[in-house]
Amino acid sequence: MKKWIAFIWLALAGGFLSACTMEDVGDVLEITEDVLTAIEKEQNSTPETEKAEEPLNESGSILKSKGTMEPIPADLVRPVDGDTAVFAFDADQDGKKEEFSARFLLIDTPETRHPQLGKQPLGEEAKERTAELLEDGEVTIEFDVGQRLDKYDRILVYVYVDGVSVQETLLEEGFARVAYVYPPNTRYLDEFEAKEAVAKQKERGVWAMDGYVTERGFNSE
């Protein structure tokens, strides 16, 4: 339609030129140029309703998004074990907090009530230390770049209290070992291994018992 308007205008202008003086011709050509410029601008403009929108997460859930993000404020519901707890946070970003069982990334602590392993040495102490840490300040959780849920639907997170890593504290004090290393959720692996090395060198906690820590866990025999 816009092209037809330009064509008709040019045809009329062309017929009119034959009956005009040179001064009139200049005026007509100037008007024609203005019309073509206006048509070009209109073709290149995008209506407000046609502008592309920013892609949104379909579900709006942090658990189904990808990549890293800033630590998320969370409420402690209850400690469960040395390396697990229940937190409440706004996973759907709708202003409502939900409860989630959480597994602490990259560490393993002795069990307190495992079906097969039972109660292991230092299991209760690790649980009590984790509870003490989590109840001592503001809790934040942080996801890594890989999967955010394990096969038990527990969130996989790094945990902080007043900005201090709970995982690093447990490792340095000898209540945990570095374990369950599944790339790409390995952002702080080097830091964790360094804290573990300190406890091992000083024979703290689980490292004070010869042969207790194994590659597969803790020796209950």
Per-residue pLDDT tens digits for 177-219: 999 999 999 999 999 999 999 999 999 999 999 999 998 899 8
Of 12-21, 47-56, 99-108, 182-191, give the lowest mean pLDDT range.
Answer: 47-56
Q: Is pLDDT above 70 for 35? A: no
The share of the chain scoring above pLDDT 90, in percent, equals 63
Nearest to 181 by CA among 146, 154, 205, 151: 146
Model pLDDT for residues 6-24, shown as the tens digit of each residue: 444 444 445 544 444 445 4
pTM over 0.75? The answer is no
Whether 129 sits among the annotated catalytic residues: the reply is no
Task: Give catalytic status of residue 103 as yes or no.
Answer: yes
Q: Per-domain residue ranges for the chain?
A: 2-46, 62-218
- Return the amino acid letter for 150: D
pLDDT of amino acid 46: 39
**Residue pair 133/76 in contact by the 8 Å Cβ criterion:** no
Residue 154 annotated to the active site: yes
What are the tens digits of pLDDT across the range 64-84? Answer: 888 878 999 999 999 999 999
Best CATH choice for the domain 62-218 from the list 3.40.190.10, 3.40.50.150, 1.10.240.10, 2.40.50.90: 2.40.50.90
Asked if 100 and 155 count as a contact pair (C-beta separation under 8 A), the reply is: yes
Question: Exactly one of 129, 148, 154, 177 is catalytic; which is it?
Answer: 154
Catalytic entry in 111, 125, 142, 173: 111
